Amino acid sequence: MGMVGYTVALVVITVIASPCVYGKQLSDQQEIKVQRLLKRLNKPAHKSIKSEDGDIIDCVPITKQPAFDHPLLKNHTIQMRPSFVPEGGSTFTKKEAKAITQVWHKNGVCPDNTVPIRRTKKEDILRSKSIESFGKKRHKSFGKGTHQSNPGEGHEYAIMNSRKGIYYGTKFVINMWRPEVEVPNEFSLAQTWLASGDGYDTNTIEAGLQVCPVLYGDNNLRLFVYWTSDYYQSTGCYNTGCSGFVQTSKVITPGGSFAQVSQYDGAQYGLPMLIWKSSGNWWLMIGEEYVGYWPGNIFTSLGDRATTVQWGGEIVNQRTDGRHTNTDMGSGHFADEWYKKASYFRKLETVDGANTLREPQGLYPYASNGNCYNIKAGEKILKALPVETAFKFPSPLPTFTQGGGFAKGTIDLGGLEVSQVPTFNKVWSTYEGGPDNLGVTFFEPSSVPTGFSILGYYAQPNNRQLFGWVLVAKDLSSNNTLKPPVDYTLVGNTESLVTKQDGPGYFWEPVAPDGYQAVGLIVTNSSQKPPLDKNKKLDFSTMPNGSQTGVLSNTYSPLIYLHPDEEYLPSSVNWYFSNGALLYKRGEESNPNPIEPNGANLPQGGANDGSYWLDLPIDKKGKERVKKGDLQSTQAYLHIKPMLGATFTDIAIWVFYPFNGPARAKVKLITLPLGRIGEHIGDWEHVTLRISNFNGELWRVFLSQHSGGEWIDACDLEFQEGGGSNKAVAYASLHGHAMYPKPGLVLQGNDGVGIRNDTAKSKKVFDTGLGYEVIAAEYGGEGGGVVEPPWVNYYRKWGPKIDYSVEDDVKRIERFLFGALKRAFVNLVKKIPDEVYGEDGPTGPKLKGNWAGDEK
């Protein structure tokens, strides 16, 4: 059975597998027990519907359902809808969101204010091992939080495990198959588990699809829910077999069957499911329908959060004749057969503490009987070893016009010629530890050019595609710049390391001849020393020239997506000046000057001493219009500079916004506008492309975020949709314009409290490679031949000092908060970064710290 971008031959479930007593004569006492249980489970109905699958669906008043027999729910107030749903993440397609209908719908619908409940029959109870165990699990499948610790009792699993953490839900699409079950007291299922606690305090919430003849009396594919708060000892049950799960939907019932099932190499059906915590309760949503919830107060450790999430399949093998059962898991085919043949979970996501859906990281598979059932992960969640998944750009690299030493493949360091080797042979791997607990792999360069010597090896985590290089060098001088080592010193090995690895790895440091410096380490999978010949002022001509920069910009300059609700758009600097922006001088505030379109009348040079600043037009209409910006006029302003000894070229792409909007705070589940906090005039943001001068390949992208930012490796970028384009995609946050590599919510804070940075894809998008101007450059000793526009050398503020009382805004918000929420908000205000207040006007690009140096 697959999982979110995987493939997995599996189907999931834990269930009761019990010998039948059906058909045996009941004692009078047993008959009384059965009738009492039937009366408790089958509440009086307003309407009953006979389904073609043999079920009877009772439409029970929502306030009279079995859930409220639970002693902790006697005075429970029904929550008809969740207070909120998780933000961000993937979206279900319209077809998925509509969801699959249950069979009973063909013969009727339940009235408003009722919920559909599958009627329990006498024979249903008698199929159970005992009357007391009806609808309950007998086995303890979780052990210490995972199934592999105690499969037992014939239960076999193929599951994907999350790493230990804090989880508030999960979202996925589950492939719908009707697995064959060989004998009536076996079952097969596919489900998710959310769990917390240890030992007999283990709490679980479970939901999925199952074929379970002992529970339902047939081999139909059915929806189920389950829960326990004491490790399956005395609490919890399937569906409405006991009190606990509260139904709110009148169209979907736990225990109901589905007619649509997937066919081998044919039509595929998927059921979209979402479980998450809202206002203390754990909600279940299928497609767009709120099915119901597990009240938080029936749990102990799950009353707060889950610590593990699992997705996968389970069967029970009850054969006692030495032969393994023929009961299928999922489609009955191994994961290796992939889509349309093996069952899957896809679009796997988990809910974090900020109520945001995220792709789970660090998942690891477990199959209790790999000879019969297995599970595999697709690249989106568990990436294959990097040697098998080398990163490639969506489109071939451009062909550059000849000129200078740019993109020639080698660089002359003055008698020492160096080159990059981006192809590798795997040397050794470990498969645990490191990012996402997936280990790391070491490589030696392959295809080393003739006459060149290796200067080191390459290593990277296994959770990403292979994207790197090793420098090799060739001595062009007569001074013996390079010499082989005279020996190697073993500096470490992994012989005693208790972890999954390709045998021991050995790390060797070269011993350099007198007067030389050792470079790099050698890694081997043998305790034998490597051979001694194993390891053996920059010219600005390596920088791209003007035409080559044009090609680079058109090829790599990113698309910047603005939030669909963004009202403060970017503009060109000329548009801003031409539409009423004013230059103020200290002491002459009553007589501001209009700014010429190219900024020719701006003061040049000097220092940011507060003598001058820019501001919006004075008239109210003009001010509001200019604050909104003008997307059509927007230009990207490029600064090209050498980096890392001119082995790379940085193209800093600056974007101007006339106005930065107000910030919003998130305090647990509440979003609060922060008045004018965060507002300022004249907002400069930038993206920096780092390009290899060896071959013109994009290496990394820097995204500015308030007063900082982050580097994103090219292999981790999102590229323009449709394929065939090497343009990266960046997302500008609502009002604040900080840039991020993925859409969704990024919280400046922790534990669900902080400043919101909301990003999303929209029709408001700016292609920085279409409208750009080079404002400063260093091309091959020419000084770039670029005339810097006057506004670049304006070293003063691009906005005024904003005078407003933060205390008033804070006190206004505090009046609406109480208790823990109020304390959380007060603590947040104390920690708000200075740049969010934005009281002082920002400076232009040339006064930013990265103009003359590297990104911080």
Active site residues: 206, 314
Asked if 662 contacts 735 with a C-beta cutoff of 8 angstroms, the reply is: yes
Asked if 843 contacts 796 with a C-beta cutoff of 8 angstroms, the reply is: yes
Q: Which residues of 148-161 are buried (b: 16+ CB within 10 A; e: fewer)?
A: eeebeebbbbbbbb
Q: What Rg, from alpha-carbon coordinates, does the chain have? A: 32
Give the DSSP H/E element, type plus range, for residue 94: helix 94-98
* SS3 state of residue 814: helix
* SS3 state of residue 122: helix
Strand order from edge to edge, sheet including 664-667: 670-673, 664-667, 753-759, 744-750
Question: What does each C-alpha distance from 435 to 401, 438, 664, 718 come to in angstroms?
Answer: 40, 6, 32, 20
Contacts 24+ apart (CB under 8 A), 34-42: 34/122, 34/125, 34/126, 34/131, 37/120, 37/125, 37/131, 37/134, 38/120, 38/121, 38/122, 38/125, 40/66, 40/69, 41/66, 41/120, 41/240, 41/241, 42/117, 42/119, 42/120
d(CA 563, CA 559): 13
d(CA 654, CA 290): 45
d(CA 14, CA 8): 17
Beta strands 345-351; 357-358: pairing state: antiparallel
Identity (one letter) of the amino acid at 23?
G
Nearest by Cα to 525 from 496, 499, 497, 493 = 493
d(CA 519, CA 595): 55
Give the DSSP H/E element, type plus range, for residue 304: none
Region of residue 668 (left: phi > 0; alpha: psi -120 to 50; beta: else): left
Strand order from edge to edge, sheet including 410-412: 410-412, 416-421, 470-475, 453-454
And the tokens for 298? Answer: 């029936």
* SS3 state of residue 729: strand
d(CA 614, CA 626): 13
d(CA 529, CA 489): 9
In 500-566, the DSSP E strands lie at 506-511, 522-524, 559-562
Torsion, Cα 674 680 681 683, to 10 degrees, reads -100
Alpha helices in 464-590 (DSSP H): 546-556, 573-578
Identity (one letter) of the amino acid at 113?
N
Residue pointed to by tokens 């999954």: 500
DSSP letter for 849, please. Answer: T
And the tokens for 51? Answer: 């389904």
d(CA 423, CA 470): 9
Identity (one letter) of the amino acid at 282?
W
In 368-469, the DSSP E strands lie at 374-376, 410-412, 416-421, 424-430, 440-445, 453-454, 458-461
Residue pointed to by tokens 């933060």: 806
